[in-house]
Structure 1
Amino acid sequence: MAKVTPFLMFQGNAEEAMNYYTSLIDKSEVTRITRYGPGEPGEEGSVMQAVFNLNGQEIMCIDSNIQHDFTFTPSFSLFLTCDTEEEIDRLYEKLSEGGGVLMPMGDYGFSKKFGWINDKFGVSWQLTLPH
């Protein structure tokens, strides 16, 4: 096995999500996008497969060309270890906009500050600031 890569399936907004995430997290970028062309199974121009990097963590994603009765669940989340209080507060605020709070920002004993949210795309994020 060469590596294990998290994989996110969106329903038409993969590129918007990747651009949003890479704009919020330092040292992040979209590294590859393959789009559906004319006559292919997905909507022309949508993301057939893409790879983006969040501060060294590679993540793959697609725009599903099949409508599903499911989306993301908090059972799987992206866990961010922040360096400063300003960073965790900024990310918590931005990532929770249009989403929902699963655990409000607070001190739960296992870190100085912790919050768990779903973003506007339905992806779950855990943010921590270690002691």
Structure 2
Amino acid sequence: MPKTTPCLWFDTQAEDAAQFYTSIFPSSAIVDVTRYGPGAPRPEGMVMTVTFVLDGQEYVALNGGPEFTFSEAISFQVSCASQADVDEYWSRLTDGGEEGPCGWLKDRYGLSWQIVPTALRDLLADPDPGRSQRAMQAMLQMKKIDIAELQRAADQA
């Protein structure tokens, strides 16, 4: 059966990025590194691809050149069970990167991530439309998601 593997295009930082990501996520490792050979479009010996696994999901990082960069059109969601998880992933992934609105951030390589507490999903799916809307309005005012603040907003009558 076919398998999908996201391939992330970098200029020259594929190996650094893979090391950074595998240092953040549990059960993660670099699996393979390939290098450009003679006659290739990049210097011989330069890292071409890095295959790595983040908590069971395989990725490939490619040093393809400066022609393409990341945009918010593609992002990775990190589902977090607790505020401690939100805080940890937010802190580590924004190190050298930048905070965005509503739980979005860009890491130091320009890749977009969404740090999403499961509590947010639960509140937005609440059968009471008032609770759901109040949680949504609170989330729209945040950068890093604050679960306690979402709960307070949802519970206001």
Q: Which TM-score applies when normalising by structure 2?
A: 0.69
User: 1:108 matched to which residue of 2?
Assistant: none
Task: Output one character per residue of 1:48-101: Cα deviation in whole Å (capped at 9) or x when no partner.
Answer: 12211110111111101x431x30001100111123322221110111122112
SS at match of 2:85: helix
Moved more, 91-100 or 12-21: 91-100
Deviation at 1:128, TM superposition (A): 1.1
SS at match of 1:75: coil
Structure in which a larger fraction of residues adopt helix:
2
Moved more, 23-32 or 41-50: 41-50
Letter aligned with residue 56 of structure 1: G
Match of 2:70 among 50, 69, 72: 72
Structure number, greater radius of gyration: 2
User: 2:17 matched to which residue of 1?
Assistant: 17
User: 2:97 matched to which residue of 1?
Assistant: 99
User: 1:5 matched to which residue of 2?
Assistant: 5
**2:57 matches 1:57:** yes
- Higher relative contact order (CA closer than 8 Å, sequence separation 6+): 1
CA distance in 1, matches of 2:38, 2:84: 45
Unaligned runs of 5+ in 2: 120-157
Q: Which TM-score applies when normalising by structure 1?
A: 0.82
SS at match of 1:122: coil
Identity of aligned residues (%): 38
C-alpha contact 2:10 2:66 (8 A) present in aligned 1: no
Moved more, 11-20 or 29-38: 29-38
CA distance in 1, matches of 2:50, 2:16: 12
CA distance in 2, matches of 1:7, 1:46: 18
RMSD (CA atoms) = 1.6
Q: How does 1:27-46 map to 2 (within 5 A)?
A: 27-46=27-46
CA distance in 1, matches of 2:53, 2:36: 21
Unaligned runs of 5+ in 1: 105-114
CA distance in 1, matches of 2:22, 2:41: 28
Deviation at 1:42, TM superposition (A): 1.5
User: 2:117 matched to which residue of 1?
Assistant: 129
CA distance in 2, matches of 1:44, 1:99: 30
